[in-house]
């Protein structure tokens, strides 16, 4: 019986940590603020959720289990809200997302500066 528990918790932990890790890398590599927002926001909530579920499976007594449920609920509630507020404040203060036409304008600028 406990083999299944360890395997399943191991599985959840692995997937969770992989998600967090990918979120971290995404945070660094993405060019624009909003794409980084996306990377961080998604992996935060999902990765954390997976790891916490993994921990819940191997937790021994009820008190620890209930605390873990509490932390899970909290992260699920807080994660998206903070990302929402962050994005709204950024947009509200005029941080324009780097949309496709920006790219064309830049490429147009580069090409025009390069060929004459």
Partner 1 sequence: MVIVAFAIIRMKDLFAVVMLLGIYGLISASFFIVMDAVDVAFTEAAVGAGISTLLMLVVIAMTGRKEKANRHKPFSALFIVLVTGGLLIYGTLDMPHIGAVDAPIHKHVAPRYINDSMAEIGVPNIVTSVLASYRAFDTFGEVVVIFTAGIGVLTLLSVARRKESEEEISSINDSMHEQHLVIRIVAKMLIPFIFLFALYVQFHGDFGPGGGFQAGVIFAAATILYAMLFGLSTARKVINQTFIQLIAAIGVLLYGSVGIVSLMSGGNFFDYNVLASDPIAGQHLGILLIEWGVGCTVASVMIIIFFNFAGRQELHQQKERVQNQEPS
Partner 2 sequence: MLFAATLAIFITMLLAIIRGIVGPTLYDRILAVNMFGTKTVLLIALLGFVMGRPEFLDIAIVYALINFISVIGVLRYSDTHQFKHSPTLEDPVEKED
Question: Which residues lie near partner 2 (CB under 8 A)?
Answer: 6, 9-10, 13-14, 16-18, 20-21, 23-25, 27-28, 31-33, 36-37, 40, 44, 47-48, 51-52, 54-55, 58-61, 63-64, 67-68, 70-71, 74-75, 78-79, 81-83, 85-86, 89-90, 92-96, 98, 102, 106
Place of tokens 């899970």: 72
- Least Cα distance to 45 among 14, 9, 71, 7 occurs for 71
Cα(16)–Cα(49) distance, integer angstroms = 7
- Contact partner at residue 84 from partner 1, partner 2, none, CB < 5 to 8 Å by partner kind: partner 1
**Are the C-beta atoms of residues 43 and 17 closer than 8 Å to each other?**
no
The total of other beta-carbon atoms located within 10 Å of residue 85's CB is 10
> CB of residue 81 vs partner 1: minimum separation in angstroms?
5
The set of residues, in sequence order, having a beta carbon less than 8 Å from that of 31 and lying 6+ positions away, is 98
> CB of residue 115 vs partner 2: minimum separation in angstroms?
20
**Among the residue ranges 1-9, 11-19, 50-58, 75-83, the one whose residues contact partner 1 (CB under 8 A):** 75-83
């Amino acid at each position: 019986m406990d083999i299944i528990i360890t395997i399943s918790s191991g599985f959840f932990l692995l997937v969770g940590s992989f998600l967090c890790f990918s979120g971290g890398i995404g945070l660094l590599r993405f060019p624009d603020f909003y794409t980084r927002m996306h990377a961080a926001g998604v992996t935060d909530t999902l990765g954390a959720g997976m790891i916490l579920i993994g921990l819940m499976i191997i937790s021994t007594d009820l008190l620890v289990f209930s605390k873990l449920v509490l932390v899970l609920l909290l992260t699920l509630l807080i994660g998206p809200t903070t990302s929402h507020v962050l994005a709204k404040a950024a947009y509200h203060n005029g941080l324009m997302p780097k949309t496709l036409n920006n790219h064309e304008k830049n490429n147009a600028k580069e090409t025009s500066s390069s060929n004459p």
